[in-house]
Amino acid sequence: MNRAINFSAGPGVLPLEVLKKAQEEMIDYRGAGMSVMEMSHRSKEYEAIIGGAEQNLRKLMNIPQNYKVLFLQGGASLQFAMVPLNLFSAAKKADYISTGAWAKKAISEAKRYGTVKVIASSEDKNFNYIPKISQAMLSRDADYVHITTNNTIYGTCFSELPDTGKIPLVADMSSNILSQEYDVSKFGLIYAGAQKNMGPSGVTVVIVRDDLIGHALDITPTMLDYKIHAGEGSMYNTPPCYAIYIAGLVFEWLLEKGGIKAMEKENRLKAAILYDFLDQSKLFKGTVELQSRSLMNIPFVTGNEELDNKFISEASKKGLKTLKGHRSVGGMRASIYNAMPKEGVETLVTFMREFEKVNG
């Protein structure tokens, strides 16, 4: 088997053990005589699958009992609308921190339903840092404060969460959920598309505190109301069954690996290997300020577009795939999610050293 070393930002690399398990169970899921793809979501077998996935996610993230875990569809992009529709319950105001393209899209969508104040932005430096946030910057009557914990395109991450006091903190955690420890009780709501670090595309996880459910705006469509999905155990309609099944296998894999604490230690080691090389390289340069560096997405450049393209092409021939940076930024980007083994990062750095010797 000739597996590529896949640095895709999303859909991202999945654990080989998970793929093999899914392969084994593809045609006949544990004696059911059918694939999970064919299985009724109302069957006892599938109820065990989705229930087990929720239980293991709660265990991994230490999710308090006063939070609901929802398995939804529509990606993080749909949450850009669902969050304000459900949380604009009082002043219909929210504070947003603009740290990249996805945060800007979330801001644009929220403006459809209420008043949005951008209390801080890093757009002045092409989103290469995370701005400092103080309580004095917050609107006292805000219904919530929204952040994007990790920015896939620009490679930045909040090293410290803003202290929002009694105002609910809402986080788009799509590209770094399960990669490092977070205290869920500090958030009012967390949402994440699965396809970067949790499973395949098709399922979105929402973790929402009970008191924030049941206050949706009157215009909220039934399918966009958290109360509906919470009341039906994420099965108001047919859920993305197979994507939830794979995510459940990923949760099991993480638990076998020692949980998020062990994974964060491994992720910091992997990121350090690449950042240490970039910091001493005479050809390659990282693009993010030191205190804002992501563990998951690491963009870098040579400063020469032609040389960047040559590197991407030659790397691909070596089996180092999907290293091209986002079209809005250019250069290169290595996404090193949980399932990326340390050896994959080491192989990339070895190739970068060879490339620098020839082209530096």
Give 260-312 pLDDT, tens digit per residue: 999 999 999 999 999 999 999 999 999 999 999 999 999 999 999 999 999 99
> 3-state DSSP helix/strand/coil percent for the chain, to nearest 5?
40, 15, 40
90-114 pLDDT tens trace: 899 999 999 999 999 999 999 999 9
pTM: 0.97
Q: Once rounded to an integer, what is the mean pLDDT over residues 140-150?
A: 97
How far apart CA 1 and CA 146 sit, in angstroms, is 44
Active site residues: 102, 172, 196
Domain ranges, residue 59: 17-256
Instruction: Say whether both 68 and 200 belong to one domain.
Output: yes
Contact 144, 170 (CB under 8 A): yes
Instruction: Say whether both 22 and 171 belong to one domain.
Output: yes
Q: Look up the CATH number of the domain holding residue 167.
A: 3.40.640.10
Residue 4 lies in a domain: no
* Count of structural domains within the chain: 2
CA 255 and chain centroid, separation: 18
SS3 (DSSP) at 259: helix
Instruction: Say whether both 172 and 251 belong to one domain.
Output: yes
The last residue of one of the domains, among 223, 256, 289, is 256
How far apart CA 255 and CA 249 sit, in angstroms, is 10
How far apart CA 241 and CA 204 sit, in angstroms, is 12
DSSP 294: -
